[in-house]
């Protein structure tokens, strides 16, 4: 059975898409058949790997999503590209009832041939994120090491808990990962301590450091593991991948 990880946070700029891309790449490089699903209308998970968004989002198309898969250039990693179409974004965001179930069914049926599915969500708690959570069995939440980034955490966790209640035993909290970590700042240490004291083992041991190579990699259409394999960020995402595998 595949593990479907929903990478979500209602706040933008916390490293959500960067984590989606590089965790998916690390899982594929570790030998696992992996699918990266771009559900954000900004399509950064698609363009970040040098691929072009599609005119029609595969999750609202009438055909099976296997016909829309793109090769990432990384062995064992496929991409279900995003669409910048306002019409498709509206259809996905406003999907209710049977339409929402069709989106979830699309995701689940497409995931069957993969060991891991990583879903990059938009920075909101809207219907797109809820649909992704409904199709996933784990949520992974990136948190920037700033107090503003923590403000929406309670609301996000409340949403996750409600979906867990609606789907008992089907969705688990995969973990919180600290991103843009600068160990020279006292604030970083304070946020780290607060999160670990409150959430305990839910917080991954691995932290993702601030690293210019992470920002440079998407402009080359590459994961940071391919662009700068010896960088601090590349090592960190490799270690995060190992932690994800250990939590199976």
The CA–CA distances, whole Å, from 77 to 17, 32, 101, 117 equal: 16, 8, 26, 10
Q: Domain 3-171: which topology? A: Rossmann fold (3.40.50)
Residues 227, 49 contacting (CB under 8 angstroms): no
pLDDT of residue 133: 84
Could you tell me which residues come within 8 angstroms of residue 123 by beta carbon, excluding any fewer than 6 positions away?
A: 9, 10, 11, 12, 13, 14, 16, 40
Q: What is the pLDDT of residue 94?
A: 60
Instruction: Classify burial at 57, counting beta carbons within 10 Å of its beta carbon; exposed 0-12, middle 13-18, buried 19 or more.
Output: buried
Any idea how long the chain is?
A: 248
Collapse the DSSP code of 111 into the 3-class scheme (helix H, G, I; strand E, B; otherwise coil) and give the result. Answer: helix
- Position 74 scores a pLDDT of 96
pLDDT 10s per residue in the chain (248 long)?
689 999 998 888 889 999 999 999 999 999 999 999 998 889 999 999 999 999 888 877 777 788 889 999 999 999 999 987 666 666 665 655 444 666 777 777 777 889 999 999 988 777 778 888 888 889 999 998 887 777 767 777 887 888 788 777 788 888 999 999 999 999 999 989 988 998 899 999 999 999 999 999 999 999 999 999 999 999 999 999 999 999 87
Amino acid 127: pLDDT: 75
CA distances from 38 to 14, 48, 54, 116, 133 (A): 17, 11, 11, 14, 14
Question: With helix as H, strand as E and coil as C, how does 112-128 read?
Answer: CCCCEEEEECCCCCCHH
Pairwise CA distance, residues 49 & 71, whole Å:
10
Q: How far is the C-alpha of 15 from the C-alpha of 156, rounded, in Å?
A: 16
Place of tokens 């920037």: 144
d(CA 177, CA 222): 22
pLDDT for res 100 = 60
Boundaries of every domain in the chain: 3-171
| pTM listed for this prediction | 0.92
Largest interatomic CA distance in the chain: 52
State residue 98's pLDDT score: 47
8 A C-beta contact, residue 160 and residue 171: yes
Contact present, 35 and 80 (Cβ < 8 Å): yes
Number of CB atoms found within 10 A of residue 195's CB? 18
């Amino acid at each position: 059975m595949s593990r479907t990880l929903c990478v979500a946070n209602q706040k933008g700029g916390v490293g959500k898409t960067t984590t989606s891309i590089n965790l998916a790449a690390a899982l594929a490089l570790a030998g696992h058949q992996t699918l990266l699903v771009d559900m954000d209308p900004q399509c950064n998970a698609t363009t970040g790997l040098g691929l072009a968004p599609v005119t029609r989002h595969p999750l609202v198309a009438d055909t099976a999503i296997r016909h829309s898969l793109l090769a990432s250039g990384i062995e064992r990693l496929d991409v279900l590209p995003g669409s910048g179409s306002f019409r498709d974004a509206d259809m996905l965001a406003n999907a209710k009832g049977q339409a929402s179930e069709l989106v979830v069914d699309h995701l689940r049926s497409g995931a069957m041939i993969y060991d891991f599915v990583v879903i990059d969500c938009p920075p909101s708690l809207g219907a797109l994120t809820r649909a992704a959570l409904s199709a996933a069995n784990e949520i992974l939440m990136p948190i920037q090491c700033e107090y503003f980034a923590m403000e929406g955490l309670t609301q996000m966790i409340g949403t996750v808990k409600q979906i867990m209640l609606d789907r008992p035993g089907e969705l688990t909290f995969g973990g919180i990962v600290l991103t843009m970590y600068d160990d020279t700042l006292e604030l970083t240490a304070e946020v780290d301590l607060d999160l670990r004291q409150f959430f305990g083992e839910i917080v991954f041991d691995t932290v993702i450091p601030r690293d210019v190579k992470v920002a440079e990699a998407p402009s080359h259409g590459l994961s940071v593991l391919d662009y700068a394999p010896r960088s601090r960020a590349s090592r960190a995402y490799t270690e995060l991948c190992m932690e994800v595998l250990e939590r199976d």
